[in-house]
Amino acid sequence: MSNSYTEEEDRISKALEAYQSGKNHNISALAREYGVSYWRLRRRSQGLPSKIGNQNRLRLLTEA
């Protein structure tokens, strides 16, 4: 993945830590504070994986 994607994922991780620690429960405010997409942060807070963690769904179940 590109550097910008991994940098954004790092910012999302930090925002999620702040969200889960109780520092701030406003996802919109956290997204603005950390400079990340609201929708991406919202999906991560609901437990959906990132692209990096979701590579296996693209693999074939059987050998071609």
pLDDT over threshold 60, residue 2: no
Q: Give the per-residue pLDDT at 33.
A: 93
SS (H, E, C) the chain: CCHHHHHHHHHHHHHHHHHHHCCCCCHHHHHHHHCCCHHHHHHHHCCCCCCHHHHHHHCCCCCC
Q: Which pLDDT value is given to residue 18?
A: 92
pLDDT tens, residue by residue, 6-64? 888 899 999 999 999 988 889 999 999 999 999 999 999 888 777 665 666 666 667 66
- Per-residue pLDDT at 52: 66
Q: Give me the pLDDT at residue 58, please.
A: 62
To the question of pTM greater than 0.75 for the whole model, the response is: no
Place of tokens 């999620």: 16
Do 14 and 34 touch, CB atoms closer than 8 A? Answer: yes
